[in-house]
Amino acid sequence: MKVEYSNRALIDLRRAAADSREFGDAVAIALEARIVAVVRRIAEHPKAAQGVTDRPGIHVVPLLRYPYKIFSRVYEGRVRILHIRHTSRQPWPGKR
């Protein structure tokens, strides 16, 4: 399935890349690879991810080894990555 990114998600990606560089290039490269792998999995199985409470139609996938969650929504023929959120931030409004 085709994947597109919201402007917010693109900003999130740039922030995650910058933040991870503080821990060295190896961490930045590994985080990027993990995000790419999870987005690929979302594209292959878009409705397999857990739904978000109080946000119908939105799914979330944690990165597990890294403190980020990827929020997405499925549209006809495409998946939109809405937000890539660091887990230490306050919850995304509506996400509990």
Structural domain boundaries in the chain: 2-86
Question: Would you state the pLDDT for residue 90?
Answer: 60
Tell whether the model's pLDDT for residue 93 goes beyond 80: no
Q: Write the pLDDT tens digit of every residue in 67-89.
A: 999 999 999 889 999 999 988 76
Architecture in CATH for domain 2-86: 2-Layer Sandwich (3.30)
Q: Write the pLDDT tens digit of every residue in 15-70.
A: 998 888 888 889 889 999 999 999 999 999 988 888 888 888 999 999 988 899 99
pLDDT tier at 11, thresholds 50, 70, 90? very high
In this prediction the pTM is 0.85
Question: Would you state the pLDDT for residue 94?
Answer: 53
Taking each helix axis from N to C end, the angle separating 7-21 and 25-44, rounded to the nearest 10 degrees, works out to 150
Distance, CA of 94 to chain centre: 16
